[in-house]
Amino acid sequence: MIAPVVSLKGRDFIDLADLDRRQLRQLLDLAHEIKAGKWSKRPLQGRHIAMLFQKPSHRTRVSFEVGIARLGGSTTTLTENDVQLGVRETISDAAKVLDRYVDGVVARLRSHDDLVALARASEKPVINGLTDRSHPCQVLADLLTLEEVAGSLAGQRVVYIGDGNNMATSLIEASALTDITLTVVSPAGYEPPSAVIERARSIDSGTHTVTLTNEITNLDNATAIYTDVWTSMGQERDQESRRRAFMHYQVNQAVMDRAPGAIFMHCLPAHRGEEVTDEVIDGSRSVVFQQAENRLYAQMALMAQLFS
């Protein structure tokens, strides 16, 4: 007998690796339904969500605010100067206070460890809105986009060209939970940490493989080329050394020409002229605004499952 899918109700959403394959499948199915207008419940009716941002945000903030409103809830958005986690009070004290006011927290924190500490101290669901280590909400939207474009995740060959940090982590975890084949191309010294690879392996019974390379090779049968900024939020001081390290990793038309069957993906914001050229991001194979749009539906599905 097949065991029922374990509910996500009341859980935190820190990483994709917290899900199993069937939970992820259910979440994506619901997101497609919501986008198609076939699901219109209001599980957040009468509920209030706090959003904490230690870094700037456009997509994450707006898509959560709109999604929460559409699900019947309301929000308070707090930026760096408001809460000052760990400065005005400890993370644990802040979590315990928020618990008394709100029904859940979306947090974009500089440090992943701080997010884990916040989630541990909070009795309410905590959702990762990006950390230095991962960005699972973005990749939920990316999976939705890949399914819309290709019909299925099976057989997708995604080549991520860029920094082995937060986007790479969540893409690696997604590939372990789906039938996507992933290659991560990064300059030497900017590869994903081995702990990320090990964790992905652990969620797929030790069989998961991701190809890690420093060379942009084997693009001919790629179905998606994905990139991200060379200098992430908080790394601005290293911008010049990063530009030098990544200068041969730009996704330009010559790279896209080597992948004739591939769409172009980017989490945004893009630093045009660095990791991607205008020609590629504005080109007919670019799905970047579809990815941004799908943040809304992916997160509505996520919150519907955490708060139903």
Binding mask 108-147 for ligand NVA (x = CB under 6 A): ----------------------x----x------------
Does residue 130 interact with ligand CP by CB under 6 A? yes
Based on the residue annotation, tell me whether 58 is a catalytic residue of this protein: no
Compose the 223-252 pattern: x for residues touching ligand NVA by CB under 6 A, - for all others: -----xx--xx-------------------
* Residue 120 annotated as catalytic: no
C-beta closer to ligand CP: residue 35 or 108: 108
User: Can you give the three-state secondary structure of the chain, one letter per residue?
Assistant: CCCCCCCCCCCCECCHHHCCHHHHHHHHHHHHHHHCCCCCCCCCCCCEEEEEECCCCCHHHHHHHHHHHHCCCEEEEECHHHHCECCCECHHHHHHHHHHHCCEEEEECCCHHHHHHHHHHCCCCEEECCCCCCCHHHHHHHHHHHHHHHCCCCCCEEEEECCCCHHHHHHHHHHHHCCCEEEEECCCCCCCCHHHHHHHHHHCCCCCCCEEECCCCCCCCCCEEEECCCCCCCCHHHHHHHHHHHHHHCECHHHHHCCCCCEEEECCCCCECCCECHHHHCCCCECHHHHHHHHHHHHHHHHHHHHC
Which residues ranging from 182 to 211 are in contact with ligand NVA (CB under 6 A)? none
Stretch that binds ligand NVA, among 97-105, 161-169, 215-223, 284-292 (CB under 6 A): 161-169
Q: Which stretch binds ligand CP (CB under 6 A): 99-107, 181-189, 262-270, 298-306?
A: 262-270
Interface with ligand CP includes 57 (CB under 6 A)? yes
Contact footprint for ligand CP (CB under 6 A): 57-60, 130, 138, 267-269
